[in-house]
Amino acid sequence: MANSSTLLKAGIVGSAITALCCFTPVLVVLFGTLGLATWVGYLDYVLMPALVFFVGLTAYAYFRKENEGTSCR
């Protein structure tokens, strides 16, 4: 499994990108210029679960990193 630092970085970057696309019209403008405006209605079905996933990944990696030194092996 990946180490905590890699998971934390991936979670933070993924959360930031997904939040940017979720709360700003970046994808709406991009899809409109590419001629894919039909798909704009389905963005909520993809972006919200992705945001929840990346925030959860960030939280998991953060708590895993905090508890890394306290494991009993």
Question: What residues does each domain of the chain span?
Answer: 4-68
Length of the chain equals 73
| Contact yes or no for 14/57 (Cβ under 8 A) | yes
For 28-50, b where at least 16 C-beta lie within 10 A, e where not — what string?
Answer: eeebeeeeeeeeeeeeeeebeeb
Tokens of 49: 């679960």
pTM: 0.80
Q: Say how far apart CA 55 and CA 19 lie, in whole Å.
A: 10
CA 61/CA 7 separation, integer angstroms: 6
**69: which 2 tokens?**
């030194």
| Residue 73, pLDDT score | 57
pLDDT of residue 16: 93
pLDDT at residue 25 in the model:
87
Q: Which residues of the chain have pLDDT under 50?
A: none
